[in-house]
A and B are shown apart, each in its own frame.
Chain A
Amino acid sequence: MKKQIAVVEDEPALRENYAAALARHGYLVKTYGNRKTAMQAFQVRLPDLAIIDISLEDEAEGGFDLCRELRALSAELPIIFLTARDSELDAVSGLRLGADDFLTKDVSLPHLAARVAALFRRIDALRRPDNAAEIVRRGALSIDAEKMQTTWNGAAVTLSLTEFWIVHALARNPGHVKNRQQLMDAANVVLDDNTITSHIKRMRRKFQQVDAAFDAIQTVYGMGYRWVE
């Protein structure tokens, strides 16, 4: 059965372009121009994935409100924010509301499709019984690339997709310095240096919630970051 994706975007041309690209990858795409029509449809039937723009028509933060309402309907529904707004604050707000990823509109359609596929893969993997095929273990860290799940000392660390790919890229070659560009490439995102820095900070904080003594991601000034065991 085809996965159903809801695209909530107030710019018709963009909406149709996203819809066309995703449809080409075999998804069933429903598009909505504003929060009201989207919410009406969601109350009838939930999609498998929602891609939401933050500002919707005359509501500057309508996307956030929609995300909140959607989370109230379903705790597991994957949500991706796709927006022209690239500020740090927006990203943090979106992720805090329970979005699974936060992408700027600079992302290319193939990248978007890859993201969507990855997200679905993680959900599917979570539903399947364990197979230890794609698991990277580095000391206390274990990364399941299949399920896109991260644990530290056995405790789950909830990372967004972008964060997951950054940790994955760092941990695969411990001790190697990855510069910001490399990390962006690994995460398939276009971000500026400061956003990478704040992603790193947020990841550290998430690990430190599990283990206060966490110190595995090290800053190499002037170059980038590395994973130390």
Chain B
Amino acid sequence: MSRTTRRRLRQSGWDLLGLAVFAVVVFPVYWMISTAFKRSDDIVSLTPTWLPFHPTLSNYRSAMRMPFFWVDVKNSLIIVSVTVAISMGLAFLAAVALAKYRFTGRKLFIVLMIGIQMLPAAGLIIPLYVVLARYHQVNTLTGVIVTYMTFVLPFSVWTLRGFIIGIPRELEEAAMVDGNTRLGAFLKILLPLIAPGLVATSVFAFITSWNEYIFARVLLNDQSKQTVTVWLSYFLGTSKHTDWGALMAGSTLTAIPVVVFFLLVQRRIAFGLTAGAVRG
């Protein structure tokens, strides 16, 4: 066997392995989507049907007809958009401070922003529940919004800071020469430059809030007030006969906005957590 043939064979070996890994890793997602399009006979049959040969939308119809689906989607949308809007406004200012100024206490603030993100949500449910109960905010969307800000704010400050640092100082100085104050120059001329970063951070904040489960589960007990993740987790309910098709359709519906958004911003944000490590 010649050298090139051997090398080509080895390359094909690696590629085959890569394809096998791809198949295994992606399979659960494929299985969710294909089940959602199958007829119930094909779903419950003992010999699985690998492809939806008789595609149907009836699973989606029954998922959407489930009680509280639309109400809970609406709740999720309200909670997520208010959380993101408020957090971005506040976080942007703090991110400017971190990226463009040196000040006493800066380090402490950074420790706070990173440290808070490490707190396990489970450890916070009791204090948040008790305090929100004290102010009659349990079972209200406001209570959940406030809670979500505890993790969206630190994350957004840290990520936005990364985007602002990326802007060359010369641009800012040029703006200042034109007679603007530092902050004025920054807001007028550089804000447009950070817009993509703001969008990416907002989208990521949207995703984390949309996916959140434990706080919503603890704080909202009224079915008409719950979020879509809690709705999905109760889907199986108490019925003996599980409607897997509808469950998978509901899962697909819950995942779609997240997947679409994630694919859009993944490249921009994904490395935020470790960006420095890769570089330095």
Are A and B a genuine interacting pair, yes or no?
no
CB within 8 Å of B: which residues of A? none
Chain B interface (Cβ < 8 Å from any Cβ of A): none
